[in-house]
């Protein structure tokens, strides 16, 4: 066998091994990202031109998150926020729109307490997606209702649903995802204080 043929075979073998290794590494990365982001992975793929571009963006979220100083909450801080949330739910009966606004404010405050930057809604979603991906659809739904309410009149039922979505995010942040959205936003403590009126408020 001639020397040049041996060289070609060796080069081909190296390329095959390299390609196989790349596919293995890419598969492992994709699996890790799917496990980390859950439904957010599929959402990112839909929003980008290719899965590879989506994975680069998700990887950058992981890198940014690793640089954040995310802190657990003390028992007293958890109790304080739980009491504040209970007051907001009581407020919903008479002032549903005001309660939804307060719920959004408390969520942002809780994010800051945990160590998440709060400079903008889109960045909040990106930062939360690394450890609270399952809660993001609730945050989006609640925030969307709040924005629509600012533009037009929303029914009490719409705002009640927004409160339920916000509560799912609240509990997920409060417990660091250990308990929050395990039951798809159905909280063990229920939604006491949200009433059952179906009137419209301006």
What percent of the chain has pLDDT above 70? 74
Q: Which two tokens stand for residue 93?
A: 């009966």
CA distance 199 to 38: 37
Query: What pLDDT is attached to residue 63?
Result: 94
Helix (H, G, I), strand (E, B) or coil at 4: helix
**pLDDT over 50 at 199, yes or no:** no
Q: Which two tokens stand for residue 189?
A: 């403590």
Query: What pLDDT is attached to residue 148?
Result: 85
Mean pLDDT value of segment 7-23: 66
* The pTM of the whole model exceeds 0.85: no
- Mean of all residue pLDDT scores within the chain: 82
Mean pLDDT value of segment 87-100: 92
Least Cα distance to 65 among 144, 8, 124 occurs for 124
Instruction: Kindly report, residue by residue over 99-157, the tens digit of the pLDDT.
Output: 999 999 999 999 999 999 998 999 999 999 999 999 999 999 999 998 887 667 778 89
Mean pLDDT value of segment 85-112: 93
Residues 6+ apart with CB under 8 A from 183: none
């Amino acid at each position: 066998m001639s020397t040049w043929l041996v060289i070609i075979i060796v080069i081909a073998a190296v390329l095959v091994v390299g390609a196989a290794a790349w596919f293995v590494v890419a598969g492992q990365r994709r699996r890790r990202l799917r496990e980390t982001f859950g439904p957010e992975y599929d959402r990112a793929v839909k929003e980008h031109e290719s899965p590879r571009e989506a994975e680069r963006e998700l990887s950058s979220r992981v890198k940014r998150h690793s640089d954040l100083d995310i802190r657990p909450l003390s028992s007293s801080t958890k109790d304080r926020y739980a009491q504040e949330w209970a007051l907001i739910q009581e407020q919903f009966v008479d002032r549903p729109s005001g309660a939804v606004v307060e719920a959004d404010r408390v969520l942002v405050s809780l994010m800051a307490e945990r160590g998440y930057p709060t400079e903008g809604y889109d960045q909040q979603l990106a930062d939360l997606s690394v450890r609270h991906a399952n809660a993001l659809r609730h945050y989006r739904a609640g925030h969307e209702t709040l924005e629509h309410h600012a533009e037009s009149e929303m029914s009490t039922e719409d705002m009640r649903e927004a409160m339920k979505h916000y509560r799912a995010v609240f509990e997920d942040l409060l417990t660091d995802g250990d308990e929050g959205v395990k039951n798809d936003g159905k909280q063990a403590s229920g939604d006491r204080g949200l009433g059952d009126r179906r009137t419209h408020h301006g």
